[in-house]
Amino acid sequence: MTQAAQAVPETATLAAEPSGSRRRRGRTGYLLMLPATLWLLLFFVVPFYSLVATSLFDASGSDFRGYEMTYAWGNYVDVVEAYWQPFLRSLWYAALATGICLVLGYVLAYAIAFKAGRWKWLLLVLVIAPFFTSFLVRTLSWQLILSDEGFVVDALQFLRVLGPDDRLLATPVAVVAGLAYNFLPFMVLPLFASLDKIDPRLVEASSDLYAHPFVGFWKVTWPLSLPGVVSGTLLTFIPAAGDYINAEFLGSTNQRVIGNVIQGQFIDANNSPVAAALSVLLMVLIVAMVLVYVRRAGTEELL
């Protein structure tokens, strides 16, 4: 943010020199940025500041006695010691769900972009259609679908995939499946946007040069779809790592993720410093992972 704020005046002064109309354009830039900047200041910077401050309160305070600012950086060490397991579990579930979404989403987006013909737009609407229902309702209905006495479990037991006492609900499988289901559209849409832009004549050209279809895909389609892959995985992984509704509704007590812990600390244990430290840590961790990922993928210019 600070970088952006510094960068803008420079370009503005550069642009302002040649003529008067350019100066107006510079001012327009500021005006256009104003609403979003104010919005972010009010609803992101201020709350984030208060969150960081809360995370440094003496964790032994309470609502009766108040909280004292003691710069208790030890809060961060304490929460890592106490809650590293749900932390890792969140990242692991989110990674699995992202992987599943990538495979399912790529195939689907590919089919929509290249094979759907006149059904293209209808299929796209169908991908978005689940958003017309609330996230909570959709997750709760998975409880019914995966229920111990439901048809899915019955069918899998009949096929001997599941033992007679096995279940789906309240297992990691249900949680990851729920995450993958809920975030699939976030994967499909950017992938579709990338794939749809690819000129089919490029693939034709590769086969004219005697490339096997697989090679053609690997050398032409895949690299050109990378921007979609990167933004799709980010759009899936980031919310999935913070999501706790799926773990809450579809998991058991042994599948709780970091979001559950944060909620429990804020609301049940009434310990806001610990909850705040966990929240800050989660944000820092995700930002760090995203930066590393984008570097590694070598796709900064694609974003």
Partner 1 sequence: MAPDDQAPARRSTLSRRGLLRGGGAVAAAGLSVAALKLPFFSVAGAAQDPASCRATDLSERERRLVISNWTGYIDPRRNPRGTYNTFQDTTGITVEYNDDVNDNAEFYAKVRNQLGSCEPIDRDMIVLTDWMAARMIGLGWIQPLERERVPRLHENLIDSLRDKAWDPDRTYSAPWQSGLTGIAYNAAYVDEVGSFSELLTRSDLKGRITLLTEMRDTMGFMLKVVGAEPEDFTEDEWYDAIDALNRAVSDGQLRQFAGNNYLQQLANGDIVACEAWSGDVIQAQYDNPDIKFVVPEEGLSLWSDNMLVPNLATHQANAEAWIDYYYEPEVAARLAAWVNYICPVEGAREAMEQVDASLVDNPLIFPDEEFLADTWDFMPLDDRQSQQYEGDWSDATVG
The site for partner 1 (CB under 8 A) is made up of: 1-3, 44-45, 48-50, 52-53, 56-57, 59-78, 82-83, 85-86, 143-144, 147-149, 167, 169-170, 252-254, 256, 260-261, 263-271, 280, 283-285, 287-288, 291
Pick the closer one to partner 1 by CB: 64 or 132.
64
- Would you say 65 or 201 has its CB closer to partner 1? 65
User: How near is the Cβ of 139 to partner 1 at its closest, in Å?
Assistant: 12
**Nearest-angstrom CA–CA distance, 110 and 36:** 35
The DSSP symbol for 170 reads T
Nearer to partner 1, 28 or 60 (CB): 60
How far the first Cα of the chain sits from its last, in Å, is: 17
How buried is 150 (Cβ within 10 angstroms: 0-12 exposed, 13-18 middle, 19+ buried)? middle
- Shortest spacing between CB 168 and partner 1, in angstroms: 10
Residue 211 or 289 with smaller CB distance to partner 1 = 289
Which DSSP letter does residue 302 get? G
Encode 23-64 in three state secondary structure: HHHHHHHHHHHHHHHHHHHHHHHHHHHHHHHHHCECCCCECC
CB of 56 to partner 1, least distance (A): 7
Quote the least distance from Cβ 230 to partner 1, whole Å: 17
Q: Token pair of 204, please?
A: 């034709």
Q: Assess contact for 151 and 168: CB atoms under 8 A.
A: no
Question: Measured between alpha carbons, how far is 290 from 202 in angstroms, rounded to an integer?
Answer: 31
Give min distance, CB of 166 to partner 1, in A. 10
Identify which of residues 193 and 285 has a Cβ nearer to partner 1 in the complex: 285
Helix (H, G, I), strand (E, B) or coil at 69: strand
Angle at 250 between CA 246 and CA 255, to 5 degrees: 80
> Which lies closer to partner 1 via its Cβ, residue 126 or residue 303?
303
Is the Cα dihedral 274, 275, 279, 285 positive or negative? positive
What is the nearest approach in angstroms of partner 1 to the Cβ of residue 12? 20
The owner of tokens 């909280």 is: 67
Nearer to partner 1, 17 or 149 (CB): 149
CB of 147 to partner 1, least distance (A): 5
CB of 266 to partner 1, least distance (A): 7
Three-state SS at 171: coil
286 by DSSP, 3-state: which? Answer: helix
- The residue type found at 61 is G
- The C-alpha atoms of residue 166 and residue 177 are separated, in whole angstroms, by 17
Reported as type and span, the H/E element at residue 104 is helix 74-110
42 or 126: whose CB is closer to partner 1? 42
